[in-house]
Amino acid sequence: MLFIALFGLGGLSGCLGDGSGNADESSVEQEIAPPPPSGLVVTVLSATAVSLQWNAVIGATSYIVLKGTAPGNETTLTSISGASPKFGDGHDLPGGTYCYEVKVYIAGAGVSGPSNEQCVMTPTNTLVTPTNVTATATSTSRINVAWTGSPGATKYYVFQSTNGGTFTLVNSVTTTSYVAAALTTNTNYCYEIQASSTQGTSAVSSPPACDRTFGASLEAWYKLDEDMGLTAADSSGNNHTGTLVGAAAFSNDKAPIANNLSTVLSPGATTDSISVPFSSVFNLSSDFSVALWVKLPAAPTGKVTLLGERAAGCGALTWEIAQDATNGLYINGATLRGFNQSLPVGIWTHVAVTKLSGNASLYLNGTLVTTGTFTAGASTSAPFQIGTAGSCGNGGAVIVDDVRILSRAMTTAEIVDIGKQPPAPANLVVVVNNSTQMSLSWTASTNPTKYIILKGSAPGNETFYTSSPPASPTFGAGHLTPGTQYSWQVTQVEHGLISKPSNEQVASTAAAPTAPTGVMANAVSKAQINVSWTAVTGATKYFVYQSTSGGPYVFKGSALSPATTLGAAGLTTMTTYSYEVAAQDGGGSVSPMSTPASATTL
């Protein structure tokens, strides 16, 4: 017995003898288990309910859900069918801390170790946080705020922030909407909502909902977000509704405006435009501002009209903003003011023209380009048209978005706010964590509303992947494919506009682990065989499978790296067992099986 005990101490834990030649299996059996579930995520639904979800385990007979009130003290709560890797726990208490783990049971293989641990705190009452908060400016001094309510709430607190400042309580209401009034002209306001009842208050909604009050003298504003149909609504509240005529149609080639739904394409024929019934506000007879986002899909072959007011058949002209080979971009009326600039092809450009005391100024992407005298022509009572005006000019297609007409000259700061994209996030770095996960980080921006993550499979083909909260300039990308190349960029949203992309980073996930080598099986008693193997780079766990006398392989045990041994116990004397080993990395990728190794118990 002394010899056996010394062997056990020198070998795997738990290999002490019992005097019969059979090893004590108690501690060895702790390692004998299927792989545990991975990817456990716990989501708080209310003050008393959470939902659990994890990655399915192939062959699962059932799952065992463990619950505790602090990290590490989880005990068995219940077991559920192996058919679905999710569970809802509705028996928590408000304001409590709860920790969860999940194990899997596979018939013939036993119960796994626990999954990753997830701890959450329930709210202090049964009120869920208000959702779907929206803020919509309706005038120079009002913003309509609306949200989805919380069951059981008796009132809602409305918190307001001005231009990114501190949120302060401005009112409480018993409905799920609020009109913020007496606001400052052309100012950005953000809102958060909190539900309340006799039981307490919910968490504050997030992210904030923001919008900017209209600038003074806003006469018409076409957001062009309808996405379908033939109507272009006037968001200024002045009811200058437009109608799409000719081949003009909504497009999904969008300007860099946050939450942009659509734009309008005017293919360039003489009848293609958004036509708005005549109103004297479109005459531009005194000070004015015209602002819009523009994109030329292809190089023009002649005059391209962006918008204007002109009689049919290239008749009498009140004014138009257009571009031709002679003048470049210009505004024409009683006089013509050329700006000696041309719109780039295939790129969204913000164009703003203001007139103050007889001088017209051109801004491109929020930057003043030039100023010169200009006088509009006499009123023609013609409709205001976006696209081809007065059936005049068919030199090419134009896409337009966010068209604004004001009866005053906007300030440079106002134009910058609606026409200058924020700076791109800088210093994007991508770190490969394992075969299925990467970590992204970048330099924090000054005042972002959110970050937008772009993902591709090769340099230059990134598309929208997801958005990330503004609080932290980091993002964890999971569920990637092992050994696969990914390209990444990040943009940010600020004052309602989306920045250009950050620097591009291209990286490949690590390959799935290779099959373990050097597998050896060594019989140490009548009932135990020690299995060993060579460590695999990147492996965090190993799974050992056993075959009895040439039969099928089944789970026998697992070992956490850096361990490269496993004691297979509970065996039959003088019986041949074969073993194969697979490696798993931190991303959950599993290697092919190793070459088998065999041994016969004593």
Tens digits of per-residue pLDDT, 521-532? 999 999 999 999
Contact 130, 205 (CB under 8 A): yes
Q: 180 forms bridges with which residues in the sheet?
A: 143
DSSP 378-446: ----PPEEEESBTTB--S--EEEEEEEEESSPPPHHHHHHHH-PPPPP---EEEE-SSS-EEEE-PPPS
Q: How confident is the model at residue 13 (pLDDT cuts 50, 70, 90)?
A: very low
Question: What's the confidence (pLDDT) of residue 4?
Answer: 33
Q: What is the tens place of the pLDDT at every residue in 299-320?
A: 999 899 999 999 998 899 999 9
Question: Measured between alpha carbons, how far apart are the two ends of the chain, in Å?
Answer: 16
Q: Beta 118-121 vs 131-137: how paired, if at all?
A: unpaired
Q: How confident is the model at residue 95 (pLDDT cuts 50, 70, 90)?
A: confident
CATH code of domain 219-409: 2.60.120.200
CB 538 within 8 A of CB 465: no
What is the rounded average pLDDT of the residues 580-596?
92
CATH fold of 131-212 reads Immunoglobulin-like (2.60.40)
Whether the CB-CB separation of 295 and 398 falls below 8 Å is answered with yes
Query: Residue 581 is encoded by which pair of tokens?
Result: 């080993």
Mean pLDDT for 122-149 is 87
CATH code matching the domain that covers 429-508, chosen among 2.60.40.10, 1.10.10.10, 1.10.357.10, 3.30.470.10 = 2.60.40.10
Length of the chain: 602
Decide if pLDDT at 93 tops 70: yes
Q: Kindly report, residue by residue over 14-58, the tens digit of the pLDDT.
A: 333 333 333 333 334 344 568 899 999 999 877 777 899 999 988
Longest C-alpha distance within the chain, in Å? 114
The predicted-structure confidence for 250-290, as pLDDT tens digits, reads as follows: 999 999 999 899 999 988 888 899 999 999 899 998 899 99
Find tokens 């950050």 and name the residue. 502
User: What single letter denotes the amino acid at residue 301?
Assistant: T
Lay out the sheet containing 177-180: strands in order across. Answer: 131-137, 143-148, 177-180
Distance CA 352, CA 419 (A): 8
CATH superfamily of 41-121: Immunoglobulins (2.60.40.10)
Q: Which two tokens stand for residue 249?
A: 């149609």
- Over residues 203-259, the pLDDT tens digits come to 888 888 888 888 778 999 999 999 999 999 999 889 999 999 999 999 999 999 998
Which residues does residue 530 pair with via DSSP β-bridges, in sequence order?
522, 567
CATH of domain 2-31+512-600: 2.60.40.10
User: 488 pairs with which residues across the strands?
Assistant: 455, 505
132: alpha, beta or left, given left = phi > 0 and alpha = psi -120 to 50?
left
Cβ contact 456:495 at 8 Å? no
Instruction: Output the pLDDT for position 16.
Output: 34
Residue 365 contacts by C-beta under 8 Å, 6 or more apart in sequence?
349, 350, 419, 420, 421
The torsion region of residue 405 among left (phi > 0), alpha (psi -120 to 50) and beta comes to beta
Q: Where in the chain is the domain with CATH 2.60.120.200?
A: 219-409
Q: What is the pTM of this model?
A: 0.69
Contact 447, 457 (CB under 8 A): no
Quick one: 144 exposed, middle or buried, by C-beta within 10 A (0-12, 13-18, 19+)?
Answer: middle
**Confidence label for 125 from pLDDT (cuts 50, 70 and 90):** low
Q: Is the peptide bond before 513 cis (omega within 30 degrees of 0)?
A: no
User: What is the DSSP-derived secondary structure letter of residue 596?
Assistant: P
pLDDT at 127 over 90: no
Q: Where in the chain is the domain with CATH 2.60.40.10?
A: 2-31+512-600, 41-121, 131-212, 429-508
Lowest mean pLDDT among 92-96, 343-347, 451-455: 92-96
Contact, 521 vs 589, CB < 8 A?
A: no
